[in-house]
């Protein structure tokens, strides 16, 4: 059985009202609100890097990185991708996506190797907003190394595995 409704939502009624805010003003207002959170965001990024370092050290002691530790890395990495992207820390965003891609690949491959994780954590540390920024050439070199690690391990980005191409994605919006 198939029933088709044509509902009117309160949201669609409310946005039709006169007045309101233009897109530019809305975006500017939102940017100002967000900018007030930048300092707090930098603190969260720093705390997350410390947490990643702690996982790396614990794994080093144990001689392997456990699945639970890798899931934790994914959670931290995910948050870093969001924060770095939101506040315009481009290289940190790339490195954060890379650690997610690598860890996700390791989980699926059943690998417990520590070295690639430590390399990523060290790279991310160098990109902390609380640190003096690396020179562009040095930054490129570090990012190229991370790419090389992923290529060597033959892991592809999570976005590929998710079949994003099948859904399409424009400007961060996944179309369904």
Partner 1 sequence: MSGPRMNLKNVTSLIVDRDHYTRGLIAQMLRGFGMESPMLVDNGEQAKAVLTESIPDIVFIEGELSDMPSANLLGWIRRQSKSPLRFVPLIVMSGYTQLRMIATARDGGAHIIVRKPVSPQTLFDRILWVARHARPFLETDKYVGPDRRFHDILPPDGIFKRESEAQVALQA
Residues that bind partner 1 (CB under 8 A): 1-12, 14-34, 36-37, 40-41, 44, 74-75, 77-79, 81-86, 93, 96-97, 100, 104, 158-159, 161-164, 167-176
Question: In sequence order, what DSSP letters do the residues of 126-162 get, joined into one string?
Answer: HT-TTSPPPPHHHHHHHHHHHHHHHHHHT---HHHHT
Shortest gap between Cβ of 157 and partner 1 (angstroms)? 9
Shortest gap between Cβ of 165 and partner 1 (angstroms)? 10
For residue 73, which of 91, 89, 58 has the smallest C-alpha distance?
A: 58
Residue number, 104 or 139, with CB nearest to partner 1: 104
Residue number, 44 or 60, with CB nearest to partner 1: 44
Shortest gap between Cβ of 141 and partner 1 (angstroms)? 24
Residue entry with tokens 């300092």: 39
113, 76 Cβ separation under 8 angstroms: no
Residue number, 63 or 163, with CB nearest to partner 1: 163
Shortest gap between Cβ of 30 and partner 1 (angstroms)? 3
Residue number, 25 or 62, with CB nearest to partner 1: 25
Residue entry with tokens 């969260």: 44
Spatial separation of the C-alpha atoms in residues 70 and 64, rounded to whole Å: 11
């Amino acid at each position: 059985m198939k029933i088709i409704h044509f509902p009117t939502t309160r949201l669609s009624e409310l946005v039709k009202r006169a007045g309101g805010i233009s897109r530019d003003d809305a975006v500017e207002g939102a940017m100002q609100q967000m900018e007030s959170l930048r300092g707090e965001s930098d603190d969260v990024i720093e705390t997350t890097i410390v947490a990643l370092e702690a996982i790396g050290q614990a794994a080093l002691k144990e001689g392997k990185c456990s699945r639970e530790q890798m899931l934790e890395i994914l959670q931290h990495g995910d948050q870093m991708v969001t924060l770095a992207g939101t506040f315009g820390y481009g290289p940190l965003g790339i490195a954060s996506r890379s650690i997610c891609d690598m860890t996700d690949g390791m989980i699926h491959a059943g690998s417990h190797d520590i070295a690639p994780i430590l390399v990523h954590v060290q790279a991310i540390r160098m990109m902390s907003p609380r640190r003096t920024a690396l020179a562009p050439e040095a930054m490129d070199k570090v990012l190229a190394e991370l790419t090389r690690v992923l290529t060597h391990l033959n892991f592809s980005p999570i976005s590929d595995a998710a079949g994003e191409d099948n859904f399409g994605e424009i400007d961060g919006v996944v179309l369904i």
